């Protein structure tokens, strides 16, 4: 039993790593075809992502929202739902956070100069909590709607969540260009900024903000919820076989909506972190592709929330290296997109490899060996 478990874990570790190595080889061929030395590219990626404490901090900064957006795909996947509305949920979470942040700081979404001078004076913790609630509720409801549509109207959740990305982005553009626009933001339309006092600070002696802890904690909570609670067991049962779950009396529809709410609230929290720790206001910088990379993180981690943290750091490193590739080797910033696509495709192919290799299979002791079988057979 122990041995079989060990082999399964080995299979779940070896195959993704082999797949990523293979994707690296393919990417190397792609770079060589574009006239770059692939080893120089790899060296630069590793150095600028993990080479020094300073560059590693940049990696962790990008990993923080990725952990949270990855949960937006990973949690519903346990129920058999493929949700890719992470970007939209992040944007909505950011909007929810800025609305709460402005209301709790100034008492108005469009504060007058006097209001900016004289904030309401609530403790930063309360304002931050309100922002987190705003992000969680907005992002959660956004994806919960997708889950509800799936369950009550049988609308394909992949397509509807993707469409909702575009709708969320349009909503953000509308609000920052119109009703919530800070007249002082000329070049890049934005909402009013939240006061510095209520923004999320950095971990001591680093430039990493506390959002990283949010991400790690959320992943651990998600893991415990899915693997160690009755609720998670019910969700996994429904994901395995909907009919069996219905026969067992599980409220499949409610489960789907709740899981989708939790998933969306994680991505919404990522938006809140981006607003409260990085941008300090809401504008189109929220649309940075963290949502789409989050889907990839969830896939590579095979929907395991704890594995999501590690994969998020790896892919955060690659995102972090994207800028360096642009500056040092003058490769387009889309290089990272090509690499992500290759990883994604190879990882998907590797899905078909599970269970194919003898080495990861429990040796069968009980079956008679072919040698003994042939010795007992009477020769014709």
Window 172 to 191, contacts with another protein (CB under 8 A): 173-174, 177-178
Distance separating alpha carbons of residues 215 and 217, to the nearest angstrom: 6
User: Which C-beta is closer to another protein: that of 30 or that of 231?
Assistant: 30
b/e burial code for range 266-283 (CB count within 10 A of at least 16 → b):
bbbbbbbbbbbbbbbbbb
**Is residue 26 involved in binding another protein (CB under 8 A)?**
no
Q: Is the dihedral of CA 306, 202, 320, 189 positive or negative?
A: positive
**Pure H helices in the chain:** 2-33, 38-50, 53-77, 86-106, 113-117, 124-153, 157-177, 211-228, 230-240, 242-247, 252-273, 290-300, 305-328, 335-351, 370-376
Among 71, 98, 164, 282, binds another protein (CB under 8 A): 164
Beta bridge partners of 202: 209
Piece of 14-22, 264-272, 293-301, 307-315 that binds another protein (CB under 8 A): 293-301
Q: Is 190 exposed, middle or buried (0-12, 13-18, 19+ CB in 10 A)?
A: buried
User: Which C-beta is closer to another protein: that of 181 or that of 225?
Assistant: 181
**Is residue 152 involved in binding another protein (CB under 8 A)?**
yes
Chain center to CA of 165: 15
Chain center to CA of 135: 15
Among 62, 78, 151, 280, binds another protein (CB under 8 A): 151
User: Which C-beta is closer to another protein: that of 167 or that of 203?
Assistant: 167
Among 6, 39, 166, 357, binds another protein (CB under 8 A): 166
Binding string, 130-149, against another protein, x = CB under 8 A? -------------------x
Among 323, 332, 357, 362, binds another protein (CB under 8 A): 332
**Is residue 241 involved in binding another protein (CB under 8 A)?**
no
Among 18, 32, 123, 170, binds another protein (CB under 8 A): 170
Contact 75, 263 (CB under 8 A): yes
**Is residue 158 involved in binding another protein (CB under 8 A)?**
yes
**Is residue 159 involved in binding another protein (CB under 8 A)?**
yes
Piece of 3-11, 192-200, 214-222, 290-298 that binds another protein (CB under 8 A): 290-298
b/e burial code for range 345-367 (CB count within 10 A of at least 16 → b):
ebbeebeeeeeeeeebeeeeeee
**Is residue 342 involved in binding another protein (CB under 8 A)?**
yes
Piece of 46-54, 206-214, 224-232, 348-356 that binds another protein (CB under 8 A): 348-356
**Is residue 160 involved in binding another protein (CB under 8 A)?**
yes
Phi then psi for residue 203, to 5 deg, are: -60, 145
* Shortest distance (Å) from residue 174 CB to another protein: 4
Among 19, 72, 84, 276, binds another protein (CB under 8 A): 84
* Residues 6+ positions from 360 with CB-CB distance below 8 Å: 7, 8, 10, 11, 14
* Shortest distance (Å) from residue 236 CB to another protein: 18
Residue ranges that bind another protein, judged by CB under 8 A = 34, 82, 84, 149, 151-156, 158-160, 162-164, 166-167, 170-171, 173-174, 177-178, 292, 295-296, 299, 332-342, 344-345, 348-349, 351-352, 354
């Amino acid at each position: 039993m122990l041995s079989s478990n060990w082999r399964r874990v080995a299979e779940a570790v070896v195959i993704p790593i082999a797949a990523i190595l293979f994707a690296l080889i393919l990417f190397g061929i792609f770079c060589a075809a574009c006239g770059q030395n692939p080893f120089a590219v790899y060296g630069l990626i590793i150095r600028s992502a993990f080479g020094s404490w300073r560059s590693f901090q940049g990696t962790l900064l990008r990993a923080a929202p990725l952990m949270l957006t990855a949960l937006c795909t990973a949690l519903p996947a346990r129920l058999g739902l493929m949700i890719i509305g992470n970007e939209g949920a992040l944007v909505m979470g950011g909007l929810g956070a800025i609305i709460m942040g402005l209301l709790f700081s100034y008492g108005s979404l469009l504060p007058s100069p006097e209001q900016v001078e004289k904030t309401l004076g609530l403790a930063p913790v309360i304002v931050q909590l309100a922002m987190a609630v705003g992000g969680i509720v907005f992002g959660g409801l956004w994806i919960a709607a997708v889950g509800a549509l799936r369950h009550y109207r049988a609308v394909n959740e992949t397509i509807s969540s993707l469409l909702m990305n575009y709708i969320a982005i349009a909503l953000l553009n509308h609000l920052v260009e119109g009703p919530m626009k800070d007249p002082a933001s000329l070049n890049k339309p934005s909402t009013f900024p939240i006061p510095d006092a209520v923004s999320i600070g950095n971990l001591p002696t680093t430039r990493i903000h506390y959002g990283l802890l949010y991400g790690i904690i959320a992943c651990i909570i998600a893991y415990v919820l899915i693997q160690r609670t009755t609720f998670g067991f019910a969700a996994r049962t429904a994901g395995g076989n909907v009919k069996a779950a219905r026969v067992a009396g599980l409220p499949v529809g409610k489960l789907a909506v709740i899981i989708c709410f939790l998933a969306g609230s994680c991505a919404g929290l990522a938006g809140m972190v981006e607003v409260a720790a990085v941008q300090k206001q809401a504008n189109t910088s929220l649309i940075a592709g963290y949502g789409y990379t989050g889907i990839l993180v969830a896939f590579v981690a095979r929907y395991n929330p704890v594995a999501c943290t590690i994969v998020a750091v790896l892919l955060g490193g690659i995102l972090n290296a994207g800028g360096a590739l642009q500056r040092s080797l003058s490769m387009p910033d889309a290089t990272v997109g090509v690499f992500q696509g290759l990883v994604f495709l190879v990882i998907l192919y590797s899905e078909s490899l599970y269970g194919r290799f003898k080495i990861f299979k429990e040796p069968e002791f009980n079956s008679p060996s072919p040698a003994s079988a042939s010795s007992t057979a009477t020769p014709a």
